[in-house]
Amino acid sequence: MPIKAGREALQATNYLTDFMLAVRQNVGEDYSIHPHSGTMIMFDFSYEKVGKNQDIVAVVLSGTLDENNCNYLLGCVENQILDRHTKLILDCGQVTFISSLGLGTLVRVNSRMKKIGGDVKLAAVQGAVAQVMRVVGLNRIFQIYPSVGDAIAAHSG
């Protein structure tokens, strides 16, 4: 009996792996599996140049920001730094969860931008993510705005 159960578990794992590969190819998002629940975690970002002079980079984050994708975000920001963009807005309106490593990544992004004379503003932080940021004091490190438009105005002014 244990051998049959083991084969069924292996077969179920193979189906799940095939499904996840198909999702990654079709959706194009970075994903991982939550270590405890086994559910799929998605993270994605997009960015555009905004502001009157198109000198502000607004990055829209969505999904879960944790240890599985922090380097992905840092890579994006590093590219913006290399391109000499010094005004950055992180739109957190679609972030559903942030881990301690995700919080640390935001601090690292801020630190890297400050080193080149840049500035990072957070926008649309809400729900549990906003609560966590307040509890750990990120509201004292970052300027947090209710919307991307407000953050753009602050960068421009």
C-beta of residue 95 within 8 angstroms of C-beta of residue 85: no
For residues 113 and 77, which has the higher predicted lDDT (pLDDT)?
113
How far is it, in rounded angstroms, from Cα 62 to Cα 94? 4
**What local confidence, expressed as pLDDT, does residue 122 receive?**
97
CA neighbor of 50 nearest in space, from 58, 61, 42, 39? 58
pLDDT digits (tens, 9 = 90+) for 117-155: 999 999 999 999 999 999 999 999 999 999 999 999 999
Q: Which CATH class is domain 41-156?
A: alpha beta
Strand partners of residue 143: 121
Give yes or no for residue 109 having a pLDDT over 60. Answer: yes
With a CB cutoff of 8 Å and minimum separation 6, the contacts of 52 are 156
Q: Is the pTM here over 0.75, yes or no?
A: no
Q: How far is CA 66 from CA 4, 47, 117, 151, in A?
A: 36, 19, 27, 24
Least confident of 31-35, 41-45, 91-95, 101-105: 31-35
**What local confidence, expressed as pLDDT, does residue 31 receive?**
46
How many alpha carbons lie under 13 Å from residue 111 in its C-beta half-sphere? 8
**What local confidence, expressed as pLDDT, does residue 48 receive?**
84
Under the banding of pLDDT at 50, 70 and 90, the label for residue 46 is confident
With a CB cutoff of 8 Å and minimum separation 6, the contacts of 96 are 62, 63, 64, 129
Quick one: tokens of 20? 């996840």
pLDDT digits (tens, 9 = 90+) for 48-91: 888 888 889 998 888 888 888 888 888 878 887 778 889 999 99
pLDDT digits (tens, 9 = 90+) for 2-37: 444 444 444 443 443 443 333 334 333 444 444 444
**What local confidence, expressed as pLDDT, does residue 45 receive?**
65
